């Protein structure tokens, strides 16, 4: 009966790790003396790739740029990764797991790292807000479908489609 379990869907976290981390304070120490309310810009990037059969790496990267009076106060780039073993899942569900479930698992680690790095750099912590990865995934899928429809109808912009 052990063979029956071989075809069951499987999902396991193999490892969580900090893949990349950078902190820059290009205008220190002068900018630290400036008064004013800093502007904070946060960009998130997701990545997923196959490592080997049934093994996937999912990454979430945050770029936090903080400026005061148009001068960069600090810039943090952090990329958190996770390795997941995923077996016996149909392709459509696999894409959803890699685009929604895995980032939901990886993201809290990234939030903690960004907050910690800002604090250790001598600034108030930047707490990344919660992210609805399902909404992000659905928006991305809708955009891909719209692009595919535009290309099929011949109304797409010229260029290379990957």
DSSP 86-136: EES--HHHHHHIIIIIHHHHHHHHHHHHHHHHHHHTTS----PPP--HHHH
Contact 95, 103 (CB under 8 A): no
- Is the pLDDT assigned to residue 124 strictly greater than 60? yes
| Model pLDDT, residue 145 | 87
pLDDT in tens, 91-120: 989 999 999 999 999 999 999 999 999 999
pLDDT per position as a tens digit, 23-78:
999 998 988 888 888 899 999 999 999 999 999 999 999 999 999 988 999 999 99
Quote the pTM value: 0.83
Question: Domains in the chain, ordered, with CATH?
Answer: 8-152 (3.10.420.10)
Does 158 have pLDDT greater than 70?
no
Q: What is the mean pLDDT of residues 137-156?
A: 81
Dist. CA 61–CA 19, nearest whole Å: 9
Residue pair 128/76 in contact (Cβ under 8 Å)? The answer is: no
Backbone phi and psi for residue 63, each to the nearest 5 degrees, phi listed first: -115, 115
Q: Quick check: 2 pLDDT over 60?
A: no
């Amino acid at each position: 009966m052990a063979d029956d379990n071989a075809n069951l869907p499987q999902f396991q976290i193999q490892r969580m790790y900090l893949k990349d981390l950078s902190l820059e304070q290009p205008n220190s120490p002068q900018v630290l003396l400036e008064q004013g309310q800093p502007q904070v810009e946060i960009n998130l990037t997701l990545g997923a790739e196959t490592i080997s059969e049934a093994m996937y790496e999912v990454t979430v990267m945050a770029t936090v740029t903080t400026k005061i009076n148009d001068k960069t106060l600090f810039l943090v780039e952090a990329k958190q990764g996770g390795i997941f073993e995923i077996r016996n899942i149909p392709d459509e569900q696999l894409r959803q797991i890699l685009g929604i479930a895995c980032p939901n698992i990886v993201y809290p680690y990234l939030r903690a790292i960004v907050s910690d790095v800002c604090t250790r750099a001598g600034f108030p912590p930047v707490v990344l807000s919660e992210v609805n990865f399902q909404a992000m995934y659905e928006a991305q899928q809708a955009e891909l479908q719209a692009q595919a429809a535009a290309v099929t109808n011949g109304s797409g912009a010229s260029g290379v489609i990957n």
